[in-house]
């Protein structure tokens, strides 16, 4: 029986949610998943469907999730459904929902100086999500986040030369982490501001591996 993945996109269009979902839906299908793509968080209300999933991939920036929608999502993850996402689509989704943020393991705060060039550093070379990968360069937003210290951090970046927020210069910031929420695996990467960011092979491969790791 094929594993089932639900990809839910919406929210702020600046993060190109549909285009980013369209990058990864074929990858999941190639990995043997039956993929459902939805543009409504009411999908989280379908208890039977949620129970049958292996993976949820949210891509919804700066939205509002209703109480029953959030309950449906969080309970599914607690029960063992994996969740894997990127950038603001998972890490800056529901700013008023602290339980959701606890599940993710972090929340976006800022991307000082906007689109910049920066280095991404692999810090765990043994984990299957990052094994065989080397440090690489991004031309995109470099996220500053509030982060749960219990996360298992795989990738970091150092914020340097930030003119608009000099007080954070020298900060080593987690970029990719994994964690558990109940029985469910949680994977997050702050890369992927827009779809073209995943033209960077390492960014795309980390997300691919992270989704496969999170899926039950």
pTM value is: 0.97
- Residue 16: per-residue pLDDT: 96
| Six-digit token string for 17 | 């949610």
So what's the pLDDT on residue 163? 86
CA–CA gap between residue 98 and residue 198 (Å, rounded) = 29
Q: What is the dihedral of CA 98, 74, 24, 133, to 10 degrees?
A: 70
- The number of domains in the chain is 1
What is the span of the domain harbouring residue 98?
A: 3-214
| pLDDT number for residue 162 | 85
Q: Quote the pLDDT of residue 161.
A: 86
Specify the pLDDT at position 2: 84
Dihedral sign for Cα 188, 20, 145, 68, please: negative
Q: How far apart are the first and last CA of the chain?
A: 13
Q: Give strand ranges (E) for the chain.
A: 3-11, 33-38, 55-61, 82-86, 106-110, 115-122, 136-141, 144-147, 152-158, 172-181, 184-189
What residues of the chain score a pLDDT lower than 50?
none
User: What is the tens place of the pLDDT at every residue in 75-87?
Assistant: 999 999 999 999 9
CATH number of the domain to which 114 belongs: 3.40.50.880
Question: What is the rounded distance in angstroms from the CA atom of residue 86 to the CA atom of residue 187?
Answer: 8
């Amino acid at each position: 029986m094929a594993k089932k993945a639900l990809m839910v996109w919406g929210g702020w269009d600046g993060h190109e949610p549909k285009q980013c979902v369209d990058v990864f839906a074929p990858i999941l299908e190639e990995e043997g998943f039956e993929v459902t793509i939805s543009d409504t968080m009411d999908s989280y209300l379908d208890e039977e469907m949620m129970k049958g999933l292996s993976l949820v991939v949210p891509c919804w920036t700066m939205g509002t999730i209703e109480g029953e929608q959030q309950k449906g999502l969080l309970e599914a993850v607690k029960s063992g459904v994996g969740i894997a996402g990127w950038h603001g689509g998972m890490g800056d989704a529901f700013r008023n929902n602290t339980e959701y943020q606890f599940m993710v393991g972090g929340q976006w705060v800022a991307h000082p100086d906007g689109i910049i060039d920066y280095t991404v550093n692999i810090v765990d070379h043994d984990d299957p999500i990052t094994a065989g990968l080397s440090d690489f360069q991004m031309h995109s937003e470099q996220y500053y986040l509030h982060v749960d210290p219990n996360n298992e951090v795989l990738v970091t970046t150092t914020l340097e030369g930030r003119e608009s927020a000099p007080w954070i210069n020298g900060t080593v910031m987690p970029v990719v982490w994994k964690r558990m929420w109940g029985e469910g695996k949680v994977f997050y990467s702050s890369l992927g501001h827009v779809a073209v960011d995943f033209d960077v092979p390492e960014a795309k491969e980390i997300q691919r591996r992270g989704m496969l790791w999170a899926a039950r």
